[in-house]
Structure 1
């Protein structure tokens, strides 16, 4: 979808002498049918998890392909709540032939106020050669693309969605796009990849088992299964251009919330570390009933006559990215929360 969400029928184009308004063109073609440039890029993986590793995911407007860990699972919530995905961006929109057809379709629309002036300014800029380009740059067919602006429908920043209002510009395959704010760079692609990262739901194991009552004064051991805490990678790349970024989410810790003040956390801050094998906590083994678990909770009051406690387990993920041209960096940490109802009983004698 092109800018703007409030005026879906028009696209803002800045002409050589001012702004002009043109109706939006036909629906964007399938990127797989129209891009003929360099398709090489780095593909996503998820370190052995069957969550879409290596498979092509959704295509975003502008020929941006998402690949990797974008299957079923939890959506990462940025820690702190102050991170937003890019509200809009510039990316490939038309081949020269499609750009010509876009304009011809507009010429065939009913006459309206300002249409003649809009056509004149557009043709000066892109057809007659009075601007930078001539005849829709048809001579460059197969050598590049017209880039335009697109909104990110997942953004909540409606004002910022309108900020990508530069005129369309031409980018040759193999060239970097101009440094226009909002143009897709590896950094922008990393954020789009982050936005589309799906990690496994947070699943924990308990002892006593979650199907059994927990026991007042007896430590509940909590741990994650190894497969649920493997790193997840997602790649966003621009079809036809060597512009890509791979974002990798790596589990960094498990935060436990007992659901009541009448409990003791293990460790005391409820922050359970992730070991080198990708597991938070340790599985309970027979004979360890008297030990303090590395990750767990001891309830001090039974739930008899009251609602079950809501035990929460939030898996935290650190986010890093690498991209084309040797780029890379970090993004805000993310988290996925899991919740479980637990009942706690008073038992005088316990045998494990």
Structure 2
């Protein structure tokens, strides 16, 4: 980036810099405690009408659509069981052809050249991408980014740029290259280049699974020391698959969520779960537990709860969470597991004492 001191490492930067250059303003933000907003004329995600994002590096062009599973009713996002796991913080994507870059540079000239760097002014763009002036990558070593002649017009390929859905994530600083050229039908061999797994992990957050609504028997109120049967009928939960594709590459991935277990938390220590672990596994027909039948009141349910103390004005909060096993497959026969996810719901449970009649 023109004009910034090399001693200011991108990994440690926490300030905002507005750098006046010969042909415009280079705007760079820090990864942590920024308090100064971008100038009002800064980019806001403009497109060329064809879905190609010119200005904002916080909007991915990855296309995601659900190809299997329910699409109606109450649904929500999964929470990874592994709390340390998260999707990639940043990667690179093809964003402009030579002709698109020429039009953008010479008619607009205000947009993100990387996740944490914005060029405002035609001169910055034309100097580097038209007139061959070198610049600096926004990385720890301030590596040289060679300039280009006439936007590489006549060549087949795309200019690639870094993308970070959340540019406040410190790990988004790992993608410090300013927008660079890549020949067509190829993916750059640089750190944080996208892969099929990148798309699969990006799609993880796009998986929408149905609310966990369990059936209880007896309904309404449970009774102290009598088991409450819990089950989910066959077909209540179905596998959900979403497909992610990165335009202008052959990269694709499908991420699938399969329900594998129901976990119960009674909402009080004065209760017993069946099984004792509180984990009710799915049956072969994709149901959970066994429906309650008349005469089962004194039997032990395969999935259920016995409350040992009555509620007193305040219902217990029964938490039911379904664990979903996540796998993916993608370009070139790639694939594998991703961290399991859960989706939790809470419902009120009132528990009454056993009523006795004296004659």
Query: How far does residue 261 in structure 1 lie from its aligned partner after superposition?
Result: 0.9
Q: Describe how 1:131-146 pairs up with structure 2 within 5 A.
A: 131=146, 133-140=148-155, 143-146=156-159
Q: Aligned residue pairs: how many?
A: 300
Which segments of 5 or more consecutive residues in structure 2 lack a partner in the other structure?
Answer: 1-9, 19-24, 29-41, 112-118, 135-144
1:224/1:173 Cα in 2 relative to 1: closer, same or farther (>3 Å)? farther
Structure 2 residue 203 is the aligned partner of structure 1 residue 193:
yes
1:101/1:30 Cα in 2 relative to 1: closer, same or farther (>3 Å)? same
Q: Which moved more, 1:191-200 or 1:3-12?
A: 3-12
1:93/1:349 Cα in 2 relative to 1: closer, same or farther (>3 Å)? farther
Query: How far does residue 226 in structure 1 lie from its aligned partner after superposition?
Result: 3.0
Q: Describe how 1:55-134 pairs up with structure 2 within 5 A.
A: 61-68=59-66, 73-105=75-107, 119-122=126-129, 123-124=131-132, 131=146, 133-134=148-149
Query: Paired residue for 1:292?
Result: 300
Query: How far does residue 144 in structure 1 lie from its aligned partner after superposition?
Result: 3.0
Q: Is the 8 A contact 1:11 1:24 kept in 2?
A: no
Query: Paired residue for 1:55?
Result: none
Query: How far does residue 89 in structure 1 lie from its aligned partner after superposition?
Result: 1.6
Alignment partners' CA distance in 1, 2:110 and 2:294: 79
Q: Is the 8 A contact 2:110 2:120 kept in 1?
A: no
Query: Paired residue for 2:36?
Result: none
Query: How far does residue 134 in structure 1 lie from its aligned partner after superposition?
Result: 3.3
Classify the secondary structure of the residue corresponding to 2:104.
helix
1:118/1:255 Cα in 2 relative to 1: closer, same or farther (>3 Å)? same
Query: How far does residue 280 in structure 1 lie from its aligned partner after superposition?
Result: 2.1
Query: How far does residue 115 in structure 1 lie from its aligned partner after superposition?
Result: 8.4
Summarize deviations over 1:24-53 as a string: whole Å, max 9, x none.
69723355589xxxxxxxxxxxxxxxxxxx
Alignment partners' CA distance in 2, 1:62 and 1:343: 47
Query: Paired residue for 2:174?
Result: 163
Alignment partners' CA distance in 1, 2:250 and 2:122: 38
Alignment partners' CA distance in 2, 1:67 and 1:159: 28
Which structure has greater helix proportion? 1
Classify the secondary structure of the residue corresponding to 1:222.
strand
Query: Paired residue for 1:54?
Result: none
Query: How far does residue 135 in structure 1 lie from its aligned partner after superposition?
Result: 1.9
Q: TM-score, structure 2 length as denominator? A: 0.73
Query: Paired residue for 1:340?
Result: 347
Alignment partner of 1:318 out of 311, 320, 325:
325
Alignment partner of 1:183 out of 172, 178, 193:
193
Q: TM-score, structure 1 length as denominator? A: 0.75
Classify the secondary structure of the residue corresponding to 1:331.
strand
Structure 2 residue 255 is the aligned partner of structure 1 residue 247:
yes
Q: Is the 8 A contact 1:318 1:332 kept in 2?
A: yes
Which segments of 5 or more consecutive residues in structure 1 lack a partner in the other structure?
Answer: 13-22, 35-59
Q: Is the 8 A contact 2:65 2:242 kept in 1?
A: yes
Alignment partner of 1:219 out of 217, 220, 227:
227
Query: How far does residue 149 in structure 1 lie from its aligned partner after superposition?
Result: 1.0
Classify the secondary structure of the residue corresponding to 1:284.
coil
